[in-house]
């Protein structure tokens, strides 16, 4: 009796096709995931940029108000800085006058940043000089309050004291 | 008597494989296309933001309203709605390019008297063709030079 042997090529094409489709699916999903992550980051960056420039525009308006008040007060205004500015609100921004006789204020720029500005009025009582104009974190890092689950080493697992 | 159909199993398998492969490729092509579109959109917005911020910083660096014209002297100048309109064309890398390049950056700058100085207000818009990619507004207060210390 003649036994017909199966064609050895049958099945290889299916296996190759499955492998190819799996690889292509994996690469496709990875590239889509990467592109979407990039897009998310770009959107966050966009929000951050818009917030920064909005805060900057507001700070410029506050500077204009400060300049106007200093000009109105004249040379005598330099001696009355706390009275003129300390605790006053301009453009919804609270001003303060420190011991260094600088007028300071902060403008929020988004959830995590704020624009810190300080100006020093001129000695003649007219105009000002900007001494600080920077973006800073609006809240201090509170990581110290959180308990982090980190590996303490073999010795601590066994209950021995760390060297 | 057993009759063979004439179609070998290998041929039958190849037909199914090609059919499935073509269907899978159609789906995967859409996947790759979506990834490419998202990546391009992201790259365009990033480039637009860089161009807009660069223009905004130029406005911020102006000490007087007259300096704005000097800072944007290489741009095409016009008037629109009471503002000075400066238009520049940039290629995909942000370098200055001829008209019809990848990006068009429009800077509408208005200088309004804000006693005792002048307030510069700039609206910067970056276009790709007719599509608006990014718009940014900025202000710069220029105190009167005589009142500055």
Distance, CA of B38 to CA of B86 (rounded, Å): 30
Whether residue A35 and residue B116 make contact (CB cut-off 8 A), yes or no, is: no
In this prediction, residue A159 carries a pLDDT of: 52
Whether residue B35 and residue A34 make contact (CB cut-off 8 A), yes or no, is: yes
Whether residue B9 and residue A122 make contact (CB cut-off 8 A), yes or no, is: no
Q: What is the pLDDT of residues A95-137, one digit of tens each?
A: 999 888 899 999 999 888 999 999 998 877 677 889 999 999 9
Q: Which residue has the higher pLDDT, A153 or B100?
A: A153
* Out of A25, A50, A123, closest to residue B28 by CB: A25
Which residues from chain A sit within 8 angstroms of residue B31, using beta carbons? 25, 28-29, 31-32
pLDDT at B81 over 90: no
Q: Which residue has the higher pLDDT, A56 or A157?
A: A56
pLDDT at B101 over 70: yes
Q: What is the pLDDT of residues A14-34, one digit of tens each?
A: 899 999 999 999 999 999 999
ipTM of the prediction greater than 0.90, yes or no = no
Neighbours of B7 (CB within 10 A): 9
Distance, CA of B138 to CA of B60 (rounded, Å): 8
Q: Is B116 on the interface with A (CB under 8 A)?
A: yes
Q: Is B34 on the interface with A (CB under 8 A)?
A: yes
In this prediction, residue B96 carries a pLDDT of: 84
Write out the E strands in chain A.
Answer: 89-90, 93-94, 96-97, 103-109, 113-121, 128-137
Q: What is the pLDDT of residues A45-90, one digit of tens each?
A: 999 999 999 999 999 999 999 998 888 887 777 778 888 888 889 8
Q: Is B81 on the interface with A (CB under 8 A)?
A: no
Which residues from chain A sit within 8 angstroms of residue B38, using beta carbons? 32, 35-36, 38-39
- The chain B residue lying nearest A129, using CA atoms, is B149
Whether residue B31 and residue A14 make contact (CB cut-off 8 A), yes or no, is: no
Name the most confidently modeled range: A9-13, B82-86, B145-149.
Answer: B82-86
Whole-model pTM: value is 0.81
| pLDDT class of A162 with cuts at 50, 70, 90 | very low
| DSSP-assigned states of every residue in A32-68 | HHHHHHHHHHHHHHHHHHHHHHHHHHHHHHHHHHHHH
Burial of B70-96, coded b for 16+ CB within 10 Å and e otherwise, reads ebbeebeeeeeeebbbbbbbbeeeeee
pLDDT at A160 over 70: no
Which residues from chain B sit within 8 angstroms of residue A31, using beta carbons? 31-32, 35-36, 39
């Amino acid at each position: 009796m003649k036994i017909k042997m199966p064609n050895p090529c049958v099945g290889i094409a299916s296996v190759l096709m499955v492998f190819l489709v799996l690889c292509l699916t994996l690469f496709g999903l990875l590239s889509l995931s990467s592109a979407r992550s990039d897009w998310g980051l770009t959107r966050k960056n966009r929000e951050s940029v818009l917030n920064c420039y909005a805060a900057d525009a507001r700070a410029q308006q506050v500077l204009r108000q400060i300049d106007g008040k200093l000009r109105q007060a004249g040379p005598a205004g330099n001696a009355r800085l706390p009275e003129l500015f300390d605790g006053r609100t301009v453009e919804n921004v609270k001003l303060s006058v420190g011991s260094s006789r600088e007028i300071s204020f902060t403008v929020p720029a988004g959830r995590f940043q704020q624009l810190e500005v300080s100006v020093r009025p001129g000695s003649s009582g007219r105009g000002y000089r900007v001494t600080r104009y920077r973006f800073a974190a609006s809240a201090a890092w509170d990581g110290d309050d959180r308990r982090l689950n980190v590996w303490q080493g073999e010795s601590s697992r066994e209950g021995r004291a760390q060297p | 008597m057993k009759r063979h159909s004439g179609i070998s199993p290998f041929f039958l398998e190849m037909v199914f494989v090609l059919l499935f492969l073509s269907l899978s490729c159609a789906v995967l092509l859409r996947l790759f296309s979506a990834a490419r579109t998202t990546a391009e959109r992201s790259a365009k917005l990033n480039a637009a933001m860089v161009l807009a911020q660069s223009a905004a910083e130029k406005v911020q660096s102006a000490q007087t309203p007259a300096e704005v014209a000097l800072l944007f002297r290489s741009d095409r100048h016009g008037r629109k709605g009471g503002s000075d309109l400066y238009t520049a064309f940039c290629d995909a890398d942000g370098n200055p390019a001829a008209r019809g390049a990848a990006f068009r950056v429009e800077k509408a700058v208005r200088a309004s008297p804000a006693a005792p100085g002048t307030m510069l207000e700039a609206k910067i818009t970056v276009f790709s063709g007719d599509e608006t990619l990014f718009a940014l507004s900025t202000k710069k207060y220029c105190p009167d030079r005589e009142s500055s210390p």
